[in-house]
Structure 1
Amino acid sequence: MSTDRPLRHNRDFVLLWSGSAVSIAGSTASTVAVPLLVLAVTGSAGAAGLAGFAALLPLLVLPVPAGVLVDRYDRKRLMLWCDVVRGLGAASIVLASVLGRLTLTQIVLVGLVEGSLSVVHELAGHAAVPNLVPDGRLTEALSLAEARERGATMLGTPLGGVLFGLARALPFLFDAVSYLVSAVTLLLIRKDFQRPGDAAPGQPREPALPQLAAGFRWLWRQPFLRTASLAVAGSNLLFRALFLAVLVLSRTLGASPAAIGVLLGVAGAGGLLGSLAASWCQRRLPLRTVVIGANWVWAVLALGIAATRDLYLLGALYALMWFVGPIWNVAVATQQLRTTPDHLQGRVLGASALLSGGALPIGSLAGGLLLQYAGTATTLAVLAGWMVLLAAAVSLAAPVRRLADPRPEPDPETPHALPTPR
């Protein structure tokens, strides 16, 4: 595939990108509406927490088995079935709500099913990207995917509240329609989501159980990717704990709930801008520089957050942390997708997702305990110290220091750029 053609003219990528954007917005809207719906139906905050836990549980237990499915079966067909079943689940909430027969059990089960299928859908879509775009456009494609996710989430979050205010069933109707749109865009895609010979449904395969560890085995044998995965897990501990600490500090500094919402919105905008800048940075900065530099920028910003007592400065520093995140994500994901064999993409992505996502609940628990028993100032100091140590460890890690950077990708503005060799 030639890299001459801008991605906006890549019909299959645009279809995948746009369909996923709509479905992410729909999922976000319904996710916002679920606790509101549970509170309206049951009046119980505990029940609302249970519904949220059911929807998030698959993120902790399913990435690895989902990766096996993504490598074992046709990815496009898997994504289509995920959209169909998720759409039916959302539609069932609409129907039960209209008929006045909605129960907590149904909400929890639908959330569990939708969360599980979303893990499979996301892994399959991510693994398909290298087969839809030229290698020289992979970073640009991943940068646009980051922007899509952050932009759709920013749109879906307020939309869920607005639609719920108009009618309880509306966010879930929007969610159901969004899955229909995603399914139609998938049907219109012409290219294969797997390389020839890597996805032959019905072909005898190794039993599924031994395949669960294949992604971890392969990842662990790649020195740089192993180091990067451990660094992501370590930084995610910080980010989740820091999220709670920033909320508490904001309230201590006199911020109203509305002001806190604005602060988080500015942080989200920082993440969106970072995703749009990721491709530009990838073309101009060596991978080693991005990996080491991002960790030190986070360390400096964490120290600044620990020291500041100004609400506006706090918001600016936190938004900068969000800005750097996508630049790191795109750089590391590009390297991982380029070096992972196609028949292992799903399992390696699942292993990476488990390492990174599994750190989030631990960070949330650790941050909550620190805030409760040590106070806000001590918690922020501990988190900043942790990030400094992590940045130093990444800087000294031999796989990062010895990393041989690939040739930079061609600039999209260059009309006759040569493709980067694999």
Structure 2
Amino acid sequence: MSKSLWKQRNFMLLWSGQLVSWVGTEVSGIALPLVVLALTGSSAQAGGVAAIRGLVYVFWAIPAGGLIDRWNRKIVMVLANLGSGLAMGSITLALAFHTLSVIQLYIMSAIEGSFFVFANLGRFASFPKVVSKEQFPAASAQSSTADQIALLVGPPLGGFLYQTGGGFIAFFVDSLSYFINAFSIFFITIPLDAETPTERKAIHHEIKEAILWFWHQPLLRFLNLLTAGRTILSAGLYLLIIVLAKEHHASSLFIGVIFTIGAGGGICGSFVSAKIYSRFGMKQLLVGVSLLSFFIFSLYAIAINNVLLAGITALLYAIDPLYNVTTSSYSAKMVPDEMRGRVTSLARLVVLGAYSFGFFITGNLLQYLGSRWTIGVFSFMLLLLFIATAKNRNLAVG
């Protein structure tokens, strides 16, 4: 019988460090649009600043993936988290001395995002190394639980800190969380590098090798595009909910509470996702999740108060862990470890490009068409994703 994940030291170091880091990210995530709105009054600018992380991910992803398969993944993650912490620390200082500008936010977000590329790819490549294949679905579900705990704690904490102390405290917490994550990763004792390093070729040949392998995996390519579509929506969901809440005259603190309630739904979903995953086929799971996502998100159109807004958000967050467990378990099973960094970088390039586009398009839709049209556009997109999933023949054999 496998040892409980809670008793596996190296998994817990990777998991707990990421949990702290995600809490910090959620704290600054609620503060960032509020800071930009306070500086400019523009939803488009708020979406633009948030989109920078995705843009730099697109720039760095492919070379970073090749390097992750060559370098010491543990050292990469430690240094990358330290770099992100310093970038967020500079925003903290600028807020403290009342010198922050939108230009500085763009620049520091780009720097933080560049370090994030290496930390993120390192974590994805290392995750299957700290658990067995049999425990991966449960570990993936527990990873989703960390995301939802961060959502449970981060937004209300961010809203509270912003309301009581301003953006300075929120960005300080985010900066500190990166340093804690680096400290946690430093004490992982097992090697996280590729098990069977291939004979080294020029890096562009290794990247080409990964691209060709990925191209010949039609189901992985479809899942990557499906995830990208969902990411477009989830990236902008923060901004959409903030705008809807403000239309109902919610305070900064209550906006955080909305995300807390949503995270509660996500935690419930995380607890049951591994069990549900073990009972159904992949196509059944993905078709069901896609259909539910369409119906639940469409309910935002009738969210006439903040209580309904919170309830709909909880339902939407509750089904995300099942999607993550289903897709990540298949990817972990199919991707060879010696090229995991490169293949992950290709997949994440598409997803983070979608993340950036999601912020950009949400900000502009809200700015020029309003919240109702924004909900309509995204509901239609989710309907198209459901149809594509239901008609995909490769899923029948996944």
AA aligned opposite 1:272? I
Relative to structure 1, the CA distance from residue 372 to residue 141 in structure 2 (aligned partners, 3 Å threshold; closer, same or farther) is same
AA aligned opposite 1:186? I
Partner Cα distance (1:184, 1:363) in 2: 32
SS at match of 2:189: coil
Is 1:197 matched up with 2:196? yes
In structure 2, the residue matched to 1:284 is: 279
Q: Cα offset for 1:13? A: 0.6
In structure 2, the residue matched to 1:185 is: 184
Deviations 1:321-378 (A, max 9, x none): 2211121012101110121011221222222222223224444555566667766656
Partner Cα distance (1:171, 1:180) in 2: 15
Partner Cα distance (1:51, 1:374) in 2: 20
In structure 1, the residue matched to 2:67 is: 69
Partner Cα distance (2:293, 2:182) in 1: 39
Q: Cα offset for 1:153? A: 4.2
AA aligned opposite 1:273? C
Q: Cα offset for 1:232? A: 2.0
Contact 1:242 1:383 in 2 (8 A): no
In structure 2, the residue matched to 1:351 is: 346
Partner Cα distance (1:32, 1:381) in 2: 24
AA aligned opposite 1:23? S
Segments of structure 2 that go 5 or more residues without pairing to the other structure are none
In structure 2, the residue matched to 1:129 is: 127
Partner Cα distance (2:368, 2:109) in 1: 33
AA aligned opposite 1:131? K
Partner Cα distance (1:307, 1:27) in 2: 30
Partner Cα distance (2:169, 2:56) in 1: 25
AA aligned opposite 1:327? L
Q: Cα offset for 1:36? A: 6.6
Relative to structure 1, the CA distance from residue 280 to residue 257 in structure 2 (aligned partners, 3 Å threshold; closer, same or farther) is same
AA aligned opposite 1:149? D
Segments of structure 1 that go 5 or more residues without pairing to the other structure are 404-422
AA aligned opposite 2:267? L
Paired residues, number = 393
Identical residues among aligned pairs (%)? 28
Relative to structure 1, the CA distance from residue 4 to residue 365 in structure 2 (aligned partners, 3 Å threshold; closer, same or farther) is closer
Partner Cα distance (2:31, 2:332) in 1: 35
* CA RMSD between the two structures: 3.7
Relative to structure 1, the CA distance from residue 269 to residue 345 in structure 2 (aligned partners, 3 Å threshold; closer, same or farther) is same
Contact 1:219 1:348 in 2 (8 A): yes
Partner Cα distance (1:95, 1:308) in 2: 39
Instruction: Write out aligned runs for 1:295-306 (5 A).
Output: 295-306=290-301
AA aligned opposite 1:346? G
Partner Cα distance (1:372, 1:229) in 2: 29
Contact 1:123 1:349 in 2 (8 A): yes
AA aligned opposite 1:16? L
In structure 2, the residue matched to 1:232 is: 227
Relative to structure 1, the CA distance from residue 44 to residue 314 in structure 2 (aligned partners, 3 Å threshold; closer, same or farther) is closer
TM-score w.r.t. structure 1 length?
Answer: 0.78
Relative to structure 1, the CA distance from residue 377 to residue 152 in structure 2 (aligned partners, 3 Å threshold; closer, same or farther) is closer
AA aligned opposite 2:18? S
Partner Cα distance (1:372, 1:217) in 2: 41
